[in-house]
């Protein structure tokens, strides 16, 4: 899972990647974020050749959070083919997240 610190970092991946993107907005003090991180780390290893997993601290990357309308953490944004496919707020289970990723991969 790659960390991004500026909106330009995300724009780089967004413009250059031919793969779908899962972008995680979190903060270090958010307990649901802490619970979600090991799940995202595991799935990022499983899907490393199919999906780009990015994470950014919402409280430090305020410009990007504002641009993308993030108002709470954790927020996951699923992007494929230059389009936001889905958005998830709050803690999600591994099973639910895996289903969302599989749907993301099917999107054309």
Q: Which domains does the chain have, with CATH numbers?
A: 2-106 (3.40.30.10)
Q: Is 76 exposed, middle or buried (0-12, 13-18, 19+ CB in 10 A)?
A: buried
pLDDT band (50, 70, 90) for residue 63: very high
Residue 52: per-residue pLDDT: 95
Please tell me the distance from the alpha carbon of residue 101 to that of residue 98, in angstroms, as a whole number.
5
What are the residues facing 14 on neighbouring strands? none
pLDDT of residue 62: 94
Residue 108 has pLDDT above 70, yes or no: no
The predicted-structure confidence for 85-105, as pLDDT tens digits, reads as follows: 999 999 999 999 999 999 999
Beta strands per DSSP E along 2-106: 2-3, 21-26, 52-57, 75-80, 83-89
pLDDT in tens, 12-60: 888 888 999 999 999 999 999 999 999 999 999 999 999 999 999 999 9
Per-residue confidence (pLDDT) for residue 7, from 0 to 100: 85
């Amino acid at each position: 899972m790659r960390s991004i610190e500026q909106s330009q970092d995300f724009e780089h991946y967004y413009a250059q990647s031919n793969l779908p993107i899962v972008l995680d907005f979190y903060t270090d003090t958010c307990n649901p974020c802490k619970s979600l991180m090991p799940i995202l780390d595991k799935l990022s290893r499983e899907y490393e050749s199919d999906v780009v997993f990015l994470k950014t601290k919402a409280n430090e990357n305020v410009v990007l959070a504002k641009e993308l309308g993030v108002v709470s953490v954790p927020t996951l944004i699923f992007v494929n083919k230059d389009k936001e496919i889905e958005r998830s707020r709050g803690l999600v289970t591994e099973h639910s997240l895996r289903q969302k990723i599989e749907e993301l991969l099917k999107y054309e």
